[in-house]
Copies of this chain bind each other. A is one copy, B any other.
Amino acid sequence: MKSKAKISKKENITLEATTLFKRKGYAATSMRDLATTIGVEAATLYSHISSKAEILQKICFDMAWEFFNAVEAIDSSEHSATEKLQKLIASHVGVVTKHTDSSAVFLHEWRHLEEPHLTVFLKMRQDYENKFREVITEGIAMGEFVKIDAKFTVLTILSALNHIHEWYKPEGKMTPEQIATHLAEILLKGIISK
């Protein structure tokens, strides 16, 4: 019997590719770079994966699924818009901090996806943004939030949340929960003290 929790060759390729794609970018990472990192010849990679493009697709769509999955149950609850938004923020921060490298690739390299994947990807991203937008719109309608353009607000919030991967270190002093709390604090109440 082979060892149980060991990851497959293909999973390892995806893992190392994620690190390289984050550091050098998809286009500037060659299959020979990747092969050298893993310790095989470039041709050997093709026994496990079918193309460079396929690796990127897997990373981007796996992450899209992670984001959606984490947010699934939230809008069916009956909390206030404020509470929903806090949950959306915590959920998003949870995914980004759990998968920092994949998040970076998801965020910056999706434009190298080939059709028809690119169109599907953009549709998913739009659907995800709409979950935030609905909560913002509801909060404005209910008088919980100030009257600022909903799209503008969503993009501002997501920009702030999406770039955690640039500085977050798992061994750092802030836990993902603290980061989520502080971000929600800033975005909901601002940094001016009362």
Binding site for B on A (CB under 8 A): 23-25, 27-28, 82, 108, 111-112, 136, 139, 143-146, 148-149, 151-153, 155-156, 159-160, 162-163, 166-167, 174, 179, 182-183, 185-193
Bound state CA distance, A32 and B184, in angstroms? 47
Copy count, this protein chain: 2
Measured CB to CB, the closest approach of chain B to A165, in angstroms, equals: 11
Chain A binding surface, main DSSP class: helix
Which residue of B156, B182, B183, B185 contacts A186 across the interface (Cβ within 8 Å)? B156
A189 & B186 in contact (Cβ 8 Å cutoff):
no
Q: Which residue of B lies closest to A162 (CB)?
A: B159
Which residue of B23, B146, B174 contacts A191 across the interface (Cβ within 8 Å)? B146
Interface centre among A23, A25, A190 (most CB of B within 10 A): A190
Bound state CA distance, A136 and B190, in angstroms? 13
Given A25-B111, A27-B28, A192:B146 Cβ within 8 A: yes
Measured CB to CB, the closest approach of chain B to A191, in angstroms, equals: 5
A163 & B167 in contact (Cβ 8 Å cutoff):
no
User: What are 5 A-B contacts with C-beta separation under 8 Å?
Assistant: A24-B111, A25-B111, A136-B191, A148-B191, A153-B186
Given A149-B174, A160-B159, A167-B155, A192:B144 Cβ within 8 A: yes
Question: Which residues on the B side are within 8 Å of A188 (C-beta)?
Answer: 190-192
Question: Which residues on the B side are within 8 Å of A155 (C-beta)?
Answer: 163, 166-167
Given A159-B162, A162-B159, A153:B27 Cβ within 8 A: no
Measured CB to CB, the closest approach of chain B to A133, in angstroms, equals: 13
Given A111-B25, A166-B155, A192:B82 Cβ within 8 A: yes
